[in-house]
Structure 1
Amino acid sequence: MPEYSLSQEDLASALEGISDINFQLPDPEDEQIPDDQFQEQLDTAWQVCDRFDLLTEIWRGRILRAIRDREKKRGEGRGSGFLNWLKDREISKSQAYSLIELANSADTLLEEGKLDPNAIRNFSKRAFVETAKSSPEVQQMVTEAAQKGDRITRREVRQLTDEWTAMSSDLVPEEVKAKVADRTLPSRYLTPLVKELGKLPESHVSFLQEEVAEEPTVDKLKQATSDARNLAKYLHAAAQVQAINQSSIDVELALEDALRVGCLNTASDLVKQASQLEQTIAKFFTTWKRLGSLADRLYVDTGASTPHLRSLLSCIERLSGEVIEVSLDDEGQQIVRLRILS
């Protein structure tokens, strides 16, 4: 682990550097400043604060780690000294260990030579935390970009993570990976495809893999992603529809028919709506029973001395009886009548 020392002179120098931070922010009421220039100036100031915040948090973590480790070594107080130190500075235990974890991650990246100390300034705080939690391959890609001087935010880290996950996934055919490797196919289309393929049974995955392998284009990847999403919806919804489960229909064969004639989206929506309708009916019946029970209780608990309350119960009868009537418009021209049969 790297050795760090801080003298009083170092502290004075650091404090002097802090006092030099004085941004000249643009006037928000100045209409002479173009919007893009206004945003750029604020973004620059924000990046400086973000970088300074990251370095500060790393050093806070190192400080907390030193306090904790010293108490561990001395074996006194069972951690009470460390906790008292946190209490005096209004730092929660979870926050303290989060900072220590950040410091450990920073030191690990530095020790392994994956990151130049000066390159830390190119990270936002959240991006650095994301990088520390990433796989070694992703860390390598991110730190290389940072050491080139690229600005690293959490968005870039997640994008590289998604791309690495997609490129290393067995769900992506080699023909597609080759296209991505030689830059003839954008890698950003792989992540949603892998995500959707991961929800499907192997038989359906192989069908879509063959489709994109034969024609590794952007349009084909988009279509395969859409088909995979609809397949997952179809299979999920079909498993919840009693009307399907209580019959002898082969759901897989019906799915193959839909794929063959190109109406998978419609078939998927069909079973989804059927599932929602059954769930709605079940909820409707439960609500109807509850409404009837409440109406009966209120009728028993009241009498002739509550004429207005009895009038309310009379109005509710059109919803709580065996025949239910609901108007679909304000004029009452379209009425739905439902009859509950035991």
Structure 2
Amino acid sequence: MEPTPDFVLPIPAADSPLSEEEFLHQVRQAWQVCERFDLQTEIWRGQILRAVRDRYRRQGDERGIGFQQWLQEQEIGKRRAEELMRLADRADELLKAHPLPAEAVSRFSKRAFLATAAADPEVQALITQAAAAGDRITHRQVRQLQEEWTALHADFLPPVVRQKAGDRTLAPRDVAPLVKELEKLPPPQQQELCRELAGDPRVETVKEVTATARQLRRYLEAAPQIQALTAHPVDLEQLLLEAQRLDQLHTVADLLQQAAQLESAIARLYTTWQRLGRLSDRLYQEAGASTPQLQALLEALDVLFGDIVQIDLAGETVKLHIFSEPKSRRPDPAVEF
């Protein structure tokens, strides 16, 4: 990738025949060039890091230990390096499809560039054309154009809704969240909500259907995670219809989501309780009469790692009796209040 028409950033190739010393010297030179640039710098840094990583891989460092050591020597965090290399990958993909000179790339904010790389190909084309023509590109512009494109080209939306989005009778910023939620639903629920939209394509209906679609999505995500429904199966499809008929879909979705969270919390509680018990047993075996403070610690924490777990909560004392039963009788740990 060229910073200017007459300059090429000197990134050594990962498979170059250079010695290790010469390769790393060229890497340092390329890195210093990047000090003078912003978004372009980030892309270049990602390309440099990728070259170093690939160099170590070619030398057999599949686990990345050598690369991580090099990062530490350069005082570059692993997460930061991964972000830069992802940015370089995105840049390669975007600029391969829509080549831009360096001065056009510099017209993007970093967020705008990443949003463009993640946008639909048609949106990418429009944005890169604007950048090549000299326009400054902001994240807000990219997001707005993507929302408009999404609203106008979602095949499952009723034609009347797409038409209103096109003439801006319905704002794309209202239609885009609707599309995002609807595309996550199974076809039957999607079609039912679209029929409702076709019959009343007002902005209020769009917002109501968006909220309903979001609740349906939460319902569909939460229900399969609940072990209690495996032990006592219910007809989830019929349950959904009943909840919709009574206008209690939001309540049912919340109920299922909270149930899933409670089961997860019980599993985490039991695992943590077991780990705490093992640690306390280990410390108890090592501690003796000459360690009064360790003994005091174990006594203080006894309310947490015994069979009865106790905690003060909002002015009340809450006690949990934790025990496990054989899997043949009951599959999960039980907690008694």
Shift of 1:144: 7.9
Cα separation, 1, equivalents of 2:242 and 2:284: 56
Cα separation, 1, equivalents of 2:288 and 2:18: 69
Does residue 238 of the first structure (1) align with residue 213 of the second (2)?
no
Task: Call closer, same or farther: CA 1:242–1:132 in 2, change over 3 Å.
Answer: closer
CA contact (8 A) 1:122 1:149 kept: no
Does residue 274 of the first structure (1) align with residue 259 of the second (2)?
yes
Shift of 1:249: 0.6
Cα separation, 2, equivalents of 1:171 and 1:279: 35
Could you tell me which amino acid in structure 2 is paired with residue 289 of structure 1?
Q
CA contact (8 A) 2:116 2:142 kept: yes
Give secondary structure in 2 for the equivalent of 1:305: coil
Cα separation, 1, equivalents of 2:237 and 2:271: 33
Corresponding position of 1:254: 239
Does residue 287 of the first structure (1) align with residue 269 of the second (2)?
no
Give secondary structure in 2 for the equivalent of 1:63: coil
Counterpart selection for 1:339 from 317, 321, 324? 321
Shift of 1:225: 1.0
Task: Provide the identity percentage.
Answer: 40
Shift of 1:230: 1.1
Does residue 62 of the first structure (1) align with residue 5 of the second (2)?
yes
CA contact (8 A) 2:98 2:128 kept: no
Task: Call closer, same or farther: CA 1:146–1:318 in 2, change over 3 Å.
Answer: closer
CA deviation string 1:39-72 (max 9, x = no partner): xxxxxxxxxxxxxxxxxxx96253345989xx99
Does residue 314 of the first structure (1) align with residue 299 of the second (2)?
yes
Gaps (5+ residues) in structure 2?
34-43, 52-87, 325-337
Please give the residue correspondences for 1:1-342 in structure 2 after superposition, counting only pairs within 5 Å.
Answer: 60-64=3-7, 88-89=29-30, 90-91=32-33, 94-95=46-47, 108=99, 123-124=107-108, 126=110, 127=112, 135=120, 137-138=122-123, 141-142=126-127, 152-329=137-314, 334-342=316-324
Cα separation, 2, equivalents of 1:186 and 1:130: 21
Task: Call closer, same or farther: CA 1:248–1:166 in 2, change over 3 Å.
Answer: same
Shift of 1:123: 4.8
Task: Call closer, same or farther: CA 1:261–1:148 in 2, change over 3 Å.
Answer: farther
Task: Call closer, same or farther: CA 1:304–1:130 in 2, change over 3 Å.
Answer: closer
CA deviation string 1:70-100 (max 9, x = no partner): x99xxxx879999987754534574579699
CA contact (8 A) 1:106 1:132 kept: no
Shift of 1:237: 1.1
Shift of 1:204: 1.2
Give secondary structure in 2 for the equivalent of 1:160: helix
Shift of 1:177: 0.7
Cα separation, 2, equivalents of 1:102 and 1:64: 22
CA deviation string 1:135-188 (max 9, x = no partner): 563356557878999764232122112321332122322120122223322122
Task: Call closer, same or farther: CA 1:245–1:63 in 2, change over 3 Å.
Answer: farther
- Give me the TM-score of the superposition, normalised by structure 2: 0.65
CA contact (8 A) 2:193 2:209 kept: yes
Shift of 1:192: 0.9
Shift of 1:132: 7.6
CA contact (8 A) 1:234 1:272 kept: yes
Deviates more, 1:247-256 or 1:157-166: 157-166
Could you tell me which amino acid in structure 2 is paired with residue 161 of structure 1?
Q
- Give me the TM-score of the superposition, normalised by structure 1: 0.64
Gaps (5+ residues) in structure 1?
1-57, 111-117
Corresponding position of 1:31: none
Higher helix share: 1
Task: Call closer, same or farther: CA 1:141–1:247 in 2, change over 3 Å.
Answer: same
Deviates more, 1:294-303 or 1:127-136: 127-136
CA contact (8 A) 2:94 2:117 kept: no
